[in-house]
Structure 1
Amino acid sequence: ILTTEKSNRILTTEKCNPIVAVAFVAKVMEKAAKAFTEKDNQLSAVHAGRKVMRMAIETPNFEPVQIPLKYIEQSTKDFSDERRLGEGSFSWVFEGKDNVIQRKFAVKLMKLRFHAEIEIAEARRTFEREIVTLKYFSHPNIARLYAYHLDQDLHGTHCLVYELASLGSLDQILRNKSQRGRLDWTKRIGVALDVARALQYMHSGKGGQICFHRDVKSSNICLKRNHSALLIDCGIAKMIPLDESEATMTVMESAGNGLRGTPGYICPTFSRRQKHYGSANEVFSLGIVFAELFTGFLQNEDIDGEEIDLFERYSGDGIEKLDLVSAADECAGQWDTGAKKAFADLTFRCIGLHPKSRPRVNEIVERLEKLASQARPWSVGERNSITVLSSAPLVYFDDEGVHPISMMPHFALERDTLSRCIQESNRDIELIFDVATD
């Protein structure tokens, strides 16, 4: 006796041909097997994705690899609105969460609303360029790319999976007065230093190639829970091989590429001539970010019907030429007088009209390191020690509680994580690793 799924009719061998009955049974079994196989494949894809993410997060210098789309869809609840963190010109950003490995991450999903084929192709190339760029560079202040999913079909789903900075982007923080108040002047100097260090690393060629980010702005800087900064969105970055000539290493021909970057953050001399792009152009963009940190105003922000232009307001070459020192954001708290003047002076030099008058990135880092040491309640020369007992995994804290850095004791990962924390704190701390005896 056979029961059909749709009509619930009972078929007996008296009412149907045996051959038909056998064919019917075979079809039902084939359908069930197909459904089971599909579900099994989905589970396998999720498990494979989880394995990739665990390795990517726990392994220093892990090279990003392709990850199953099913895993990304599950971790973002099929890219639901409740998981959406923000959006850009080419993409949306979602929060991904894996409760099994107790990790969160950011997922950038390429928009497919472009009508022209050339626009879709350009968006895809932007994703590919970002993957290549981040494979070369590994730095505490550059957001790590864990994995990616690029569909073979140009109109398919394309995603990048990143390290998540839980406090969000710098522009969002400065736009919110309550959050801005928690970013006091010492933390703002720390953010400025972190971004400068990221650019110093990219410009130095330590990743094997010299690289210009080309879109440094507050919305491309995200803050972690400890207020350390990550530079994100390297989609229009330009890399130059180290074996190129000196002129090519320091100057990038932009003809044919169009004007890249965000208006207001682009060096005025570059936007007018559109010929060469080098370190000095990147320093101007960095200077605008410094001005945002110092004043609390956002570049291009509309206030009372007037669009803010920090270059025109505070640069010696601008129209208004207002005093930058007196424009310090009150939400940043009571500045140290010397640090306040020094940071304002550095910002003023960075946003000067003439590229040759701007400081080099190395000088910016040196000056900010000095300011950061003065902004701390301890002496840089003071030496402390931490003894690490390796009987149990190190843990980290977030809103949901305490989580291990790795599921098992992992000496290399714990050592590198602690070393990074010490480097970010600017403290002179000696690490001593030992084995627990109990």
Structure 2
Amino acid sequence: MSINYTSQHQEDDSLNADLPTVPLIWIQQSTNNFSDSCKLGEGGFGPVYKGSLPDGTEVAIKRLSQASSQGIDEFKNEVIFIAKLQHRNLVRLLGCCVEKNEKLLVYEYMSNSSLAFHLFDEEKRKQLDWKLRLNIINGLAKGLLYLHEDSRLRIIHRDLKASNVLLDNDMNPKISDFGMARAFENGQNQENTTRVMGTYGYMAPEYAMEGLYSVKSDVFSFGVLLLEIISGKKNNGFYFSEPGQSLLVYSWRLWCEGECLKLVDPILENTYTRNEVKRCIQIGLLCVQEDAVDRPTMSTVVVMLASDTMTLPNPNHPAFCVGRKIREQEPTSNASNEDPSINNITISSILPR
């Protein structure tokens, strides 16, 4: 679906020559002038509205708020990166608008909202049987592999989490929110930043503590997400229901005791294949190992998920460090504000019981 519009008031031609620009007047009409009745939600980027193209195709429109915790740099970042990316497991950016004082992004509309919306709700989670959860895990792995190795740019997402995974009509997963993504040059493996931005519970320890990020920090986030999908529990909420533990610590302890199937969401009951689930848990634990060097690449993860005969290495202990003391607690740019994104964190070491 392409949009054959050009804005007469485009303020920044440097964003992306390949991305269609959409007139502000069309967006205002489509959203009933940003009416609350069209509002889907709000995140750190700003509010998200539902609209439609002239041919009736539904779209989601992200509007950069003046008071946003993110800003024009993140806006440009999302436009520049995602416009160059095409994969069935990445959300599609259809156009943008930089006109007058407005900065807006037009995305394909995801009718089933986010993975967090379903996974962390007692009733909605019942719709996620094991086959569907495994399909989501595989789709996410392939989407990340594309970002890391197969796209025109080598992209580190830096904020992969359940609320940044959107689900289409058929419940296929699509990675969204590239406001914090970074591109690596050929031969570049890691980078350091003094501005740590991400979401508590999903950040790799080397990134949270040292500002060091790489493809392996995304692998860590994927591992957390995989364990959340299997268990139906939030990593960043687990500590409060089980004091002294995180979901990672709990999963590791069960693995060491040979009781890893106790991690499985009770809603799934006996509808899953035991060996398949055990394999996924093992892959999740391999992804969240404390030392980034020990974690597999996403290409290896995709192979491990696809094979039921490949012998997997035994995981080492996961990262027991979690960021807990939050000075600024703000959601990232998505329609769901379920998970806070943080700039300033304090790391405390949580040892397994």
Q: Is 1:180 equivalent to 2:125 in the alignment?
A: yes
- Residue of structure 2 in register with 1:102 after alignment: 56
Give distance in 2, aligned partners of 1:259 and 1:324.
33
* Alpha-carbon distance, 1:324 to partner: 3.9
- In the TM superposition, residue 51 of structure 1 has moved relative to its aligned partner by 4.0
Name the CA distance, whole Å, in 1 between partners of 2:259 and 2:196: 31
RMSD of aligned alpha carbons: 2.7
Change (3 A) 1:51 1:332: farther
SS, match of residue 282 in structure 2: helix
Name which of 210, 213, 227 aligns with 2:157: 213
Match of 2:191 in 1: 252
Superimposed CA distance per residue, residues 23-50 of structure 1 (whole angstroms, 9 cap, x where no aligned partner): xxxxxxxxxxxxxxxxxxxxxxxxxx96
Counterpart residue number, 2:312: none
Q: Offset of 1:65 from its aligned partner?
A: 1.8
Q: TM-score, normalised by structure 2?
A: 0.77
Partner residue, 1:331: 267
SS in 2 for 1:66: coil
Can you list the C-alpha shifts for 1:352-387, whole angstroms capped at 9, x where unaligned? Answer: 21212212101111122346xxxxxxxxxxxxxxxx
Q: Is the 8 A contact 2:254 2:263 kept in 1?
A: no
Letter in 2 for 1:193: N
Q: 3-state DSSP class of the match of 1:290?
A: helix
User: When the two structures are aligned, how many residues end up with a matched partner?
Assistant: 295
Q: Name the SS for the 1:211 alignment partner.
A: strand
Q: Which runs of 5+ in 1 are unaligned?
A: 1-48, 54-61, 372-438
Structure 1: distance between partners of 2:287 and 2:239: 24
Give the partner amino acid of 2:279. Answer: A
Quote the offset at 1:125 in angstroms: 1.2
Query: 1:197 matched to which residue of 2?
Result: 142
Paired position in structure 1 for 2:72: 124
The partner residue of 1:137 within 73, 85, 88 is: 85
Match of residue 397 from structure 1: none
- C-alpha distance in 1, partners of 2:39/2:268? 29
Q: Which has the higher contact order (CA 8 A, sep 6+)?
A: 2
Please state whether the residue corresponding to 1:348 is helix, strand or coil.
helix
Superposed displacement of residue 207, structure 1: 2.9
Identify the residue that residue 112 of structure 2 maps to in structure 1: 167
Larger radius of gyration: 1
Q: Give the structure-1-normalised TM-score.
A: 0.62
The offset of 1:111, in angstroms, is: 1.2
Equivalent residues of 1:220, 1:231 under 8 A apart: yes
- Residue 30 of structure 2 corresponds to 75
Q: Please tell me whether the aligned partners of residues 189 and 368 of structure 1 are also in contact (alpha carbons under 8 angstroms).
A: no
Q: Which runs of 5+ in 2 are unaligned?
A: 7-16, 309-353
Query: Deviation string for 1:240-263 (max 9, x for gaps)?
Result: 233xxx2x2x21232x4x102112
CA distance in 2, matches of 1:317, 1:123: 42
Provide the identity percentage: 25
User: In structure 1, what is the Cα distance between the partners aligned to 2:299 and 2:201?
Assistant: 24
The within-5 A match list for 1:378-389 is none
How much does 1:316 deviate? 6.0
Pair 1:76–1:356, CA change in 2 (3 A): same
- Please give the per-residue CA displacement for 1:70-126, whole angstroms capped at 9, x wherever unaligned: 11111122222222222211211111124x412101111111135xxxx6xx51111
